Structure 1
Amino acid sequence: MTASDTPAVIVVGGPTASGKSALALDLAEALDGVVINADSMQVYAELAILTARPGPADLARAPHRLYGVLPAATRCSAAAWCDMALAEIGLAQKAGRRPIVVGGPGLSRRALTDGWSPTPPVPEEIRRATVELHESLGGEAFHAELMRWDPKMARRLAPGDTQRLIRAWEVMVATNRSLADWQQEAGAGPPPGMVFDWIVLAPPRDALYAACNGRFRAMVAAGALEEARALLALDLDPELPAMKAVGVPELAAHLRGETDLETAIARAQQATRNLAKRQTTWFRHQIPVAGARVQRSHVARAQYSEKIASETLSFLRNSG
């Protein structure tokens, strides 16, 4: 229990395909909780299958919030998500339910637990020029240029991480300061009295990669190709985050006749494994220790299972 009478907000993290959504759902059932989405792609209404969004059976077991709440034509920033998440946490607590935040990039969750340090707005002309520069240079050369001007951010990002490379460059140009420096500034933190319990799934690499491969094939069987076709029919800006969701570019290439379906699936599986690897690395170095806002952390070095769910519940109950 926290210093106040309000239980800690539970934050469930882990790499993609580790089973964190299933764990969050089990916790919500056992603790009378509300599952609050922190996945940057699951917020988009048009991406149900390709983001492995909870289905009707899951939604019937416990309340879920911030899933499919925005159109793919919008950009959902970490700051915007943080505002929505804090509102949902407050509503859950007022209703006497346990907020359980699950998924998403590390930056979003750290914005929630540590507070958001906003960067100054980037003029639209700088953003357009940055996108055009990336298109003309390509990912590898753009990454090399970023390494010259902002090595702090370049070392954090892969050449294929287009959205974040563009963000790092535009902030550097607009503010003459690395995005890494902006992110290190102390945030205001969550509302007073709010603290967090972190639960992290950290499966062995072989098991995680096998899950990534199997899950994407299951997505295709469930209609991912049709979902990608419908998204492309909206004729959205290809630089929008939703258009870069894992599986969308790969299936789009197939739909344009550039690859066969098996090649598209193999490339999407590789992209999923790459994402899982980056997320695993982040969690290995960024799991917060107990402090003013995080009262405890628990790492389960395995894939989701009923045993892991039971152990996690025991941890939460016995140490609270």
Structure 2
Amino acid sequence: MGPTASGKTALAIELVEQYNCEIISVDSALIYRGMNIGTAKPNLQELRKAPHRLINIRDPLESYSAADFRTDALLAIEDILAQGKKPLLVGGTMMYFKALLEGLSPLPAANDSIRKQIQSEAELHGWQYLHDELTRIDPVSAERIHPNDPQRLSRAVEVHRLSGKSLTELTVVKSAPLPYDVVQFAISPKDRKVLHLSIEERFKLMLTQGFVEEVELLRERIELNIDLPSMRCVGYRQCWQYLDGEYDYDTMVEKSVVATRQLAKRQLTWLRGWPELNWLESGLDSNLTEVLRHCR
């Protein structure tokens, strides 16, 4: 586990070369086909060295939930174990990790009409209006969900409108936890400034690799729009808005970097409270040895 741009993929590929394991991606952006540069998806050379499961499994038009991930990941884990290998779960989508390890609550399925209604209310009144509603119906969830997190905020309100119960009430009951022993690692620079610099440098590299052109190709698909979950991936929404003429190139770069840093901050917040976690510092030559020490 770890924040974006912390070196997870590089370390995972090293581990595959030294240990009998296979990677399962735990990343809500890498699932989408045609979104390669902006998601920092492993390139063909890296995938030849270390194939990744659960990447390129959805069209950007499709949705994919934590429950979908849990189902797919459990099947992948069983298959890898049947081949005599160890599953290596790598990524930064903390909700996916939580769903896999702890199980999921029996929440109602997504409802397009309710979601459109919530989206319309947000466009008319603003997301703070919906957050105020959530505060009334589910103060516990409202405390941990920021008004600027529309995806989670919308889902919490949707759950209450569909079931008449709050997200907090429904999450008391969960399915069975992961039935395997796990060793958990998180990798990150100790200095936040180092991570911020890595994020900025990586995004500028993406631009030289053709990120804007990648988003242009996505925009050519008339069925895609900026409000889809796929287009909420950091960088894509900002680039889409730039191509729509909402702001200039430099502003797009700045907003994309800021959004990525905010994502990293949320990931680190999750990890600081994560139980049974072994911490690694990004860039250390000893990281591979440390991981292998725990796995043998």
**Do the aligned residues in 1 keep the contact of 2:226 with 2:240 (CA within 8 Å)?**
no
Contact 2:104 2:175 in 1 (8 A): yes
The Cα shift of 1:137 comes to 1.9
**Where in structure 2 are the equivalents of 1:102-113 lying within 5 Å?**
102-113=90-101
Count of matched residue positions in the alignment of Structure 1 and Structure 2? 294
Give the structure 2 partner of residue 10 of structure 1.
none
Contact 2:3 2:92 in 1 (8 A): no
Taking the aligned partners of 1:240 and 1:104, their CA distance within structure 2 comes to 20
1:298 equivalent to 2:278? Answer yes
Q: Distance in 1 between matches of 2:92 and 2:63?
A: 15
Q: Is the 8 A contact 2:106 2:174 kept in 1?
A: no
| Residues 20 and 304 in structure 1, CA contact (< 8 A), matched pair in contact too | no
CA contact (8 A) 1:79 1:118 kept: no
| 1:242-253 paired onto structure 2 within 5 Å | 242-253=230-241
Aligned pairs for 1:115-194 (under 5 A) are 115-190=103-178, 192=179, 194=180
Q: Unmatched 5+ residue regions in structure 2?
A: none
Q: Verify: 1:269 aligned to 2:250, yes or no.
A: no
Q: Check conservation: 1:201, 1:299, Cα contact below 8 A.
A: yes
List aligned pairs for 1:43-58, cutoff 5 A.
43-58=31-46
Contact 2:226 2:237 in 1 (8 A): no
**Shift in Å, 1:221:** 1.0
Deviation at 1:122, TM superposition (A): 4.5
Q: Percent identity?
A: 35
Residue number in structure 2 paired with 1:33: 21
Per the TM alignment, residue 104 of structure 1 is displaced from its structure 2 partner at its CA by: 3.6
Stretches of structure 1 that go unaligned for 5 or more consecutive residues are: 1-12, 290-296
Whether the 8 Å contact between 1:33 and 1:62 is mirrored in structure 2 is: no
Matched with 2:208 is 221
How far did 1:220 drift?
A: 0.8
Show the counterpart of 1:209: 196
Residue 185 (structure 2) pairs with residue 199 (structure 1): yes
Instruction: Work out the CA distance in 2 between the residues paired with 1:22 and 1:96.
Output: 23
Indicate the residue corresponding to 1:15 in structure 2. Answer: 3
Post-superposition shift, 1:311? 2.0
Alignment of 1:77-96 (within 5 A): 77-96=65-84
**Deviation per CA, 1:201-224, whole angstroms, max 9, x where unpaired?**
132311111111111111111111
Change (3 A) 1:266 1:123: closer
Letter matched to residue 211 of structure 1: S
SS at match of 1:81: helix
Contact 2:138/2:166 (8 A) holds in 1: yes
Q: What residue is the counterpart of 1:292 in the other structure?
A: none
Q: CA deviation at 1:71?
A: 0.4
Query: Aligned equivalents of 2:254 and 2:226: distance in 1?
Result: 22
2:245 and 2:207 map into 1 onto residues whose CA distance is 17
Q: 4+ residue runs of structure 1 moved beyond 6 angstroms?
A: none
Q: One-letter code of the match for 2:249?
A: L
- CA RMSD in angstroms, aligned pairs only: 1.7
1:263 Cα deviation from its structure 2 partner: 0.9
Q: Show the counterpart of 1:307.
A: 286
Q: Determine if contact 2:7/2:188 at 8 Å carries over to the other structure.
A: no
Comparing 123-132 with 85-94, greater Cα deviation is found at 123-132
The answer to whether the 8 A contact 1:73-1:240 is kept is: yes
Please say if residues 22 and 304 of structure 1, whose CA atoms lie closer than 8 Å, have aligned partners that are also in contact. Answer: no
TM-score of the superposition, structure 1-length normalised? Answer: 0.87
